[in-house]
Structure 1
Amino acid sequence: MAQTAGTHHKAHTPFFSRPAVRRLTPFVLTSAIAMIFIFENRASTEIRLLVPVVTMPLWGALLIAWGLGVLACTFTVRRRSHRHARGPT
């Protein structure tokens, strides 16, 4: 059976071989484990924020720390990718 000149067949890339999926898979797995750990720790605890002492659930403090870590990682990766994207001028 002959192919027509206008028909282009792309090679099918398996889902887990795609670059975006390979980059996000470790983040999703780590985040899922972190969420399980965070929400299993429901006891209240005292946390010192420089001067004041705050009593709050441990899961809240862990969730804030996780969010700050994700935010820091996002800025670091974005900054590194912009630095490498620029070519020599």
Structure 2
Amino acid sequence: MPLVPLVQQAFRDEQPGEALRLLVRDLHTQGWSKAQLYRAFLALFEETQAWTPSGDEREVLETCVLDALVGWCAPAWRLLPEEPDVREHTL
């Protein structure tokens, strides 16, 4: 399934940030690497997409997913800590 419908579904959850973090873990279990996840979620911000996140949605995506994949968060909030954090040169 494409990422956009999964993200839209997560935003309908009562706790969208946690739903997005669970989605990241699920996709990782399906074989997505940390760098692939970062690129895919970052691509949601491109205006060429059929759907782009609103202001509040952008903030949730940035803080709950993107920052957590690159390590710009508290250690306990990092996503997929078993893999190295995403760095620009690894994309």
TM above 0.5? no
Task: Work out which of the two has the higher radius of gyration on C-alpha atoms and give 1 or 2.
Answer: 1
Q: TM-score, normalised by structure 2?
A: 0.29
Q: Which has the higher strand share?
A: 1
Higher RCO (CA-CA < 8 Å; seq separation 6+): 2
Q: TM-score, normalised by structure 1?
A: 0.29
